[in-house]
Amino acid sequence: MLNKGQKVRITIDDSYFKKGQIVLIDEPDKYGAWLKGEDHKGNIDRWFLEYKNFELVDSVVESIIEKFRQRSAVGIKKYNTTLDRTDLSEEQWCDHLLEEMMDAILYCYRLREQLKYNKK
């Protein structure tokens, strides 16, 4: 069962919203839900949709996807290239990965030590 405040993605185009638009559940119902969000004109509105016309959105996954997009934009601006580049060998890609993983271990260890210190 869906809950008030959960995010859903619209799976149809109609006069109120666009396919892919994310809105909030205002009130679940047996046959669908009352949804609340912006219509195509930017007005906050509330409307009823059957379950077949929307899908539940995992806000954690959506947040991570947005972080990936932001990180990609930073990399493109900084290096003027994307991960589609073809100038690195497989060994060079592995070297980059190993360096990133070593950094991640250092960050994790540092955070762990801080957490241990804060428990005292």
Query: What confidence score (pLDDT) does residue 39 get?
Result: 72
Closest by CA to 52, choosing from 18, 9, 23, is: 9
Record the tokens describing residue 12, joined without a space.
């149809």
How many Cβ atoms from other residues are within 10 Å of residue 13's Cβ?
A: 12
3-state secondary structure 63-101: HHHHHHHHHHHHHHHHHCCCCCCCCCCHHHHHHHHHHHH
| pLDDT by position in tens, the chain (length 120) | 788 888 899 898 877 778 888 888 899 888 889 888 877 777 888 888 888 888 989 989 999 999 999 999 999 999 999 999 999 999 999 999 999 999 999 999 999 999 998 887
Q: Name the nearest CA neighbour of 59 among 7, 12, 111.
A: 7
